[in-house]
A and B are shown apart, each in its own frame.
Chain A
Amino acid sequence: MTDYVMEAKNVYKTYQIKGEKKEDYKIVEAVKDVSLLIRKGDIKLIFGPSGSGKSTFLRCMAMLDIPDKGEIYLGDQCLTQKGIDLNKARARIGFVFQHIYLFRHLTALGNVELALRKVLKLPKEEARKRALDALAEVKVTECISKYPSQLSGGQAQRVGIARALARNPDIILLDEPTSALDPELTGEVIDTLRDLAKEGTTMLIVSHEMPFAREVAEEMIFYDEGHIVETGPPSLFFNAPNTDRAKQFMTRIINRTTRE
């Protein structure tokens, strides 16, 4: 019996960016030989320059992008094996998107309820109850019957978190959950994540919210050019990272934060 929740083993992913003409395209190596182990209750935070492949890696973890090579494990089940029921596996993984992607035709409650009813096939009352609990947990009980277009960015993202949370997933993967929001709205989302952290939710977060990282992350992962450059506790990165690349990046990001 292991307490491993998820593991990535030597994962590779490249994709093509198509140019104007059919024959000119660029190959981007977004994930090059990345391995990562997550145990129950872990909170790990991936950060690094934009375009470095962090999001692609996170999507590979959720099998929303299929890795070219390498293995992804959910518990002791290998998701990259042929013949595995990926939909079942994805139902056990919560995913929160940078641009939120709520189902536009459903209310906040409907968004959270849908997968409970149609994927987990819970009876109506139980689905309703669990959806309401999840929405209460992210503190959006006052606008559960509003449509996504009527929600503020912060509310919408908290509904997005509730949608991921309600299924009681083994892990929640969050892809820059605050970076598409107005600065004054990031606080409420961060508060929600802080609450989840307190309850011991297993999370892998791509984020540049440094104060938050320092507070809740057990491990920070500096990711650049398709691979993990350095990992360590927040104290390492905030004091003296080992690699020059991480040092540079931290200096820039900290300067930016203090200037604000």
Chain B
Amino acid sequence: MGGVPLTLSISILSFFIGIAVGLPLAFIRVYEKEVGFVVDAYEKIWRGIPEIVLMLLFFFGLGPFFPFPFGNPFIVVCFVLGLRSGANQSQIYRGAIHGVGDEQMIAGTSVGFSKWRAIWHIMVPQVFTYSTPGLGSEYALLIKDSAYAYVLSLAEVMKRSIDLRYITGDVIGPYVLAALIYIVLTFPLAFSLDRWGNRRKKKIGL
């Protein structure tokens, strides 16, 4: 149980890093076509390598040379999961941008907004609404993937349940408990995000 706050902070922090990375990438991919290939490459790299490999690489490969930030397991885990989530979220947002439609951008330009200000004031709020089912599952994914943090000995839910197994000698109990905790952590949030999104979508007719 003691691992819950850590699991939550890893997943929430990574989620926000993912937004900060994924949102600009998606808009660059759609509206700055000349440099779109950079975004493609970024997505391919981060989605193509298992996050456990990346965590070990950054922690053991770069950690000794850059104790800050890569010597800190918490930062490495959030960094890897956040940037990987940025690659995923970029694809979610890109779909949403097309779903929201170019007309909204044209209307924004017509009232005097520059491209990037129209994106900020008009596209971004709608893109979030449009992305909700995808974002819900992305968040659930992060909760689950935060379990990899145990390889860097972070005392999150997974690590705690492994420890518990050795202490008690019970091979099944701790893992059942971990499974239940993960379900409780993912389900309500993903569910309420979906519901909020659907309601909002209905309201604004997306």
Residues of A within 8 A of B (CB): 62, 64, 87-88, 90-93, 95, 97, 99, 101-105, 114-115, 118-120, 147-150, 163-164, 167
Which of B113, B126, B203, B204 is within 8 Å of A119, CB to CB?
A: B113
Report 16 cross-chain contacts, Cβ distance below 8 Å, ordered by A residue.
Answer: A64-B106, A64-B110, A87-B109, A88-B112, A90-B111, A99-B103, A101-B107, A102-B107, A103-B122, A104-B104, A114-B122, A115-B111, A120-B112, A149-B204, A167-B111, A167-B112
B125 and A91 contact, CB distance less than 8 A: no
Q: How many A-B residue pairs have CB under 8 A?
A: 69
A119 and B111 contact, CB distance less than 8 A: yes
Given contacts A64-B106, A104-B104, A114-B121, whether A149 and B111 have CB atoms under 8 Å apart is no
B113 and A115 contact, CB distance less than 8 A: yes
Q: Which residues of B are found within 8 Å of A163, using beta-carbon distances? A: 111
**Residue in B121, B126, B206 with the greatest tally of chain A CB atoms within 10 Å:** B121
Interface string of B194-206 (1 = CB under 8 A from A): 0000000001111
Q: Which residue of B lies closest to A104 (CB)?
A: B204
Q: How far is the CA of A103 from the CA of B206 in the complex (A)?
A: 11
Q: How far is the CA of A62 from the CA of B111 in the complex (A)?
A: 10
Which residues of chain B from 152 to 206 have a CB within 8 Å of any chain A CB? 203-206
Q: Which residue of B lies closest to A65 (CB)?
A: B106
Q: Which residues of B are found within 8 Å of A167, using beta-carbon distances? A: 111-112
B109 and A64 contact, CB distance less than 8 A: yes
Which residues of chain B from 86 to 107 have a CB within 8 Å of any chain A CB? 103-104, 106-107
B side interface size, CB within 8 A: 21
Given contacts A104-B126, A104-B204, A105-B125, whether A115 and B112 have CB atoms under 8 Å apart is yes
Q: Which residues of A are found within 8 Å of B117, using beta-carbon distances? A: 118
Chain A CB within 8 A of B108 CB: yes
A241 to B: closest C-beta gap in Å: 33
Which of A101, A105, A114, A115 is within 8 Å of B126, CB to CB?
A: A105
B107 and A103 contact, CB distance less than 8 A: yes
Q: Which residues of A are found within 8 Å of B114, using beta-carbon distances? A: 87
A176 to B: closest C-beta gap in Å: 15
Q: Which residue of A lies closest to B112 (CB)?
A: A91
A90 and B109 contact, CB distance less than 8 A: yes
Q: How far is the CA of A99 from the CA of B103 in the complex (A)?
A: 9
Q: Which residue of A lies closest to B117 (CB)?
A: A118
Q: Which residue of A lies closest to B103 (CB)?
A: A101
A87 and B112 contact, CB distance less than 8 A: yes
